[in-house]
Amino acid sequence: MSARDEILESIRARQLARTPKPTVYRAPPTESDPVEAFAKTLSAQYADVRLLDNMADVPAAIADILRGRNMAPMVHIAPDSELASLDLPNVEIRREPPGQFDAAVTLAPFAIAETGTLAYPSGKGAPASWHFRPVLEIAILRASSVVAELEDVLAALQNGLPSTLNLVSGPSRTGDIEQTMEVGAHGPKALAVLVVRS
Amino acid sequence: MNVDPKAFVANARAALADPQLRPALGRLKTHFGAGRAFAVHRYGDFESLRAAGKAIRDYAVTHLDELLVTFEQSVNARGGTVHWARDAAEARRLILAILQDVGAKTVTKGKSMVTEEIRLNPFLEANGIEPVETDLGEYIIQLRDEPPSHIIAPAFHLSKEQVAETFFAAHKDLDPARSLQERNALVQEARAVLRRRFEAADAGITGANFLSAKEGAAIIVTNEGNGDLTRLLPKTHIVVTGIEKVVADMNDVAVLLRLLPRSATGQAISTYVSVMAGPRGPGETDGPENFHVVLVDNGRSRLIGTEAQDVLRCIRCSACINHCPIYGAIGGHAYGATYMGPIGAALNPGTMGVANAAHHANASTFCGRCAEVCPVMIPLPRIMRHWRAVEYGQGLAPKAITRGLALWAFAAKRPALYRLGASIAARVLKMLGRGGSVRVVPIRNGWFAVRDFPVPQGTTFQQQWRARK
Ligand code: SF4
């Protein structure tokens, strides 16, 4: 017998009464406005969250974030990204994957109010590794893309799950040395989120 | 340190006498314990969430055959491959075959307790493949050639000074005069060294916190992002995990994701949650080209239908470990096994055999904290008691215990004899007692070597019972 059949047989030979599929769980509702809740929760997780009135304010905010971190005026934006046509005066745009000291600008199709989380389904123009390669990730998020909980993101994924779905709730960190949080492990040392209201 | 569960008693003695362990063990309460308590309090109705988590895991365990078959079909539909391993040796062989097939020489690894359980790293090394651990804690202990001392914080037992020593010894090409006094300097050094390894790896191996049957996805939670670089940069991604990790669908995963980080580190969510479903899709410019999942049984299916079945609900959060007074006194290495603390005590006798791991089930004060904090309501003390009964039933319990219990049973069935014995014992102990406790008990080398016996107060229970009637 193959290992597969033997394992399944071993389970079936012993399986007791099957319990029913549980009813759907509903998390306690998040208070207040979802965008505010998202911004508040993510800000508490070492992220720099800024609210902008419209897309026209994005270039100045990106330049400001780079200056604030003493970084060169240069960002990586994936080819085929919805942001590919973004015009950034005085900031150089590169198309290849960012290195470990570079900044990347990404578009978050969803965000979750409950946990202060950006949700990135992978796809054409949305390479998953870009959330982990750079030292700084600048995420652009439309306020209308903020949903209440992860279940809403799953329901909104039109074609089902992509090959990778990344949920990001702050910059990379580790508590592995003496159980004390240090920011900036393997992924970005900083996460900035520009929430655009319209 | 002896990596042998049978050496538990000697290992525990040595650990109790080790002053290096004290500061780490002190952090259980101040970091893990306090963090969990705060997160649970903030959530609000955590008990309903626990009940939901338990129901989801119970459904999964009692439908394990169906869910595994569905999972396999879903992975196939996405262009991945599922492999099945009856035991550790078979799992190692399967993983090696996948790696040899793609000509892999170096493999990055995300944190995976199942690959610890199957002793994968030494086997890969013996076969000419270099495994590189990338979770910071795992990387540190790999450099030191030690096993993990905690299931979610592998380097839990070490101080930052010990980590600095390890890095000075391992990273010979870096400036020997550099400062590694700050924790952050250590983190940055590991980031730089490991980034080169990520870029160069031929394959990546991760574990899975959950498998979602309907979508054919493996889900991992990390704070570092190492698991993602492990999956996304090399050409081949292999997920190695236990058969019991599967649940019905992503909505079930969403519920469990509310329980896991809160119970583990006190976070509402880990920095990264990654849902990994198959190789890269059409039009995608990154992600692995090959996707494999190795499902490991290794004694798990045998637990179905036994008194220990509930232990299969475990989501490996470590809350039971963090709240265990035994773990809090001796740390993780003394167990000589991959899973330590209450979860180890409930799982190991089942998967490793009672003859090997009975000590783990005996190492409990039955205070019940583990069951109180377990996010999926596993009755851990009840399962430990079950293993004790099995040990006793198989005649594996130490002679002193079986003979002592036989003697006690003989007397207990004869009330007159029992009364006489109890009142004599009470009087003798009172005579021996000094300052509230008895230090000279005849069986000093066993139970009483590390415990004082309180001096009996007043008359025996039976005498009092009769007086009140
Ligand atoms: S037994 Fe419960 S508390 Fe312990 S690791 Fe498993 S899920 Fe967590």
Residue ranges of B 268-297 with Cβ closer than 8 A to chain A:
268-287, 295, 297
Q: Which helix (H) or strand (E) holds B172?
A: none
Q: So what's the pLDDT on residue B442?
A: 56
Tell me: the pLDDT tens digits for A46-97?
A: 999 999 999 999 999 999 999 999 999 999 999 999 998 999 999 999 999 9
Which chain A residues touch B283 with a CB distance below 8 Å? 80, 123-124
Residues contacting A46, CB < 8 A, separation 6+: A170, A171, A173, A183, A191
Tell me: the pLDDT tens digits for B221-255?
A: 999 999 999 999 999 999 999 999 999 999 999 99
Residue A56, classed as helix, strand or coil, is helix
Residues contacting B182, CB < 8 A, separation 6+: none
Tokens representing A56?
């026209």
Q: Is the ipTM of this complex over 0.85?
A: yes
Instruction: Tell me the C-alpha distance between B295 and B118, whole Å.
Output: 12
Instruction: Tell me the C-alpha distance between B316 and A63, whole Å.
Output: 43
Q: Is B320 a pocket residue for ligand 1 (Cβ < 6 Å)?
A: yes
Tell me: the pLDDT tens digits for B304-352?
A: 999 999 999 999 999 999 999 999 999 999 999 999 999 999 999 999 9
Does residue B320 or residue B437 have the better pLDDT? B320
Tell me: the pLDDT tens digits for B58-69?
A: 999 999 999 999
Contact B192 A100 (CB under 8 A): yes
Distance B236 CA to ligand 1 centre (A): 31
Contact A162 B194 (CB under 8 A): no
Q: B189 at the A interface (CB within 8 A)?
A: no
Residues contacting A18, CB < 8 A, separation 6+: B59, B62, B63
Tokens representing B190?
């590991």
Which chain B residues touch A131 with a CB distance below 8 Å? 225, 228
Find the closest chain A residue to B29 by CA distance: A179
User: For tokens 């969510």, what's the residue?
Assistant: B269
Considering only CA atoms, which of B55, B397, B402 is closest in space to residue B248? Answer: B55
Instruction: Tell me the C-alpha distance between B71 and B248, whole Å.
Output: 9
Tell me: the pLDDT tens digits for B267-293?
A: 999 999 999 999 999 999 999 999 999
Instruction: Tell me the C-alpha distance between B387 and B5, whole Å.
Output: 15
Tell me: the pLDDT tens digits for A89-124?
A: 999 999 999 999 999 999 999 999 999 999 999 999
Tokens representing B406?
């036989």
Share of chain A above pLDDT 70, in %: 100
Q: So what's the pLDDT on residue B1?
A: 46
Helices and strands, counts by H and E, chain A: 4, 12
Identify the bridge partners of residue B217 per DSSP, sorted by sequence position.
B212
Q: Which of B187, B250, B286 comes nearest A185 by C-beta? A: B187
User: For tokens 């992220």, what's the residue?
Assistant: A47
Distance B30 CA to ligand 1 centre (A): 19
Instruction: Tell me the C-alpha distance between B370 and B146, whole Å.
Output: 26
Q: Is the pLDDT of residue B96 over 80?
A: yes
Residue ranges of E strands in chain A: 48-52, 74-76, 92-94, 103-107, 110-112, 117-121, 136-142, 146-147, 164-168, 173-174, 182-183, 190-196
Tell me: the pLDDT tens digits for B7-37?
A: 899 999 989 999 889 998 988 988 899 999 9
- Residue type at position B402: T
**CB-CB contact of B129 with B91 (8 Å):** no
Q: B254 at the A interface (CB within 8 A)?
A: yes
Question: Rg for chain A (alpha carbons), in Å?
Answer: 20
Q: What is the DSSP letter of B7?
A: G
Instruction: Determine phi and psi for B191, rounding to 5 degrees.
Output: -60, -45
Considering only CA atoms, which of B212, B217, B170 is closest in space to residue B194? Answer: B170
Residues contacting B409, CB < 8 A, separation 6+: none
Q: So what's the pLDDT on residue A105?
A: 98
Q: So what's the pLDDT on residue B419?
A: 83
Please report, for residues A70, B253, B330, the alpha-carbon distance to residue B133 in angstroms, rounded to integers and kept in the order given: 32, 26, 26
Mean pLDDT (whole number) for A129-139: 98
Distance of CA B371 to the CA centre of its chain: 15
Instruction: Tell me the C-alpha distance between A120 and B3, whole Å.
Output: 42
In terms of residues, how long is chain A? 198
Q: B221 at the A interface (CB within 8 A)?
A: no
Q: So what's the pLDDT on residue B331?
A: 93
Mean pLDDT (whole number) for B404-423: 81
Q: Residue B22, Cβ neighbours under 10 Å: how many?
A: 10
The 3 state secondary structure assigned to B76-106 is HHCCCEEEEECCHHHHHHHHHHHHHHCCCCE
Q: Is B363 a pocket residue for ligand 1 (Cβ < 6 Å)?
A: no
Q: Residue B146, Cβ neighbours under 10 Å: how many?
A: 17
Instruction: Tell me the C-alpha distance between A76 and A129, whole Å.
Output: 13
Q: Whose CA is nearest to atom 8 of ligand 1?
A: B317
Q: B97 at the A interface (CB within 8 A)?
A: no
Say how many CA atoms lie within 13 Å of B326 toward its Cβ: 28
Find the closest chain A residue to B35 by CA distance: A179
Does residue B393 or residue B151 have the better pLDDT? B151
Mean pLDDT (whole number) for B415-435: 78
Which chain A residues touch B254 with a CB distance below 8 Å? 149-151, 154
Burial string for B416-435 (b: 16+ CB within 10 Å, else e) reads: eebeebbeeebeebeeebee
Residue B443's pLDDT band (boundaries 50, 70, 90)? low
Instruction: Tell me the C-alpha distance between A44 and A39, whole Å.
Output: 9
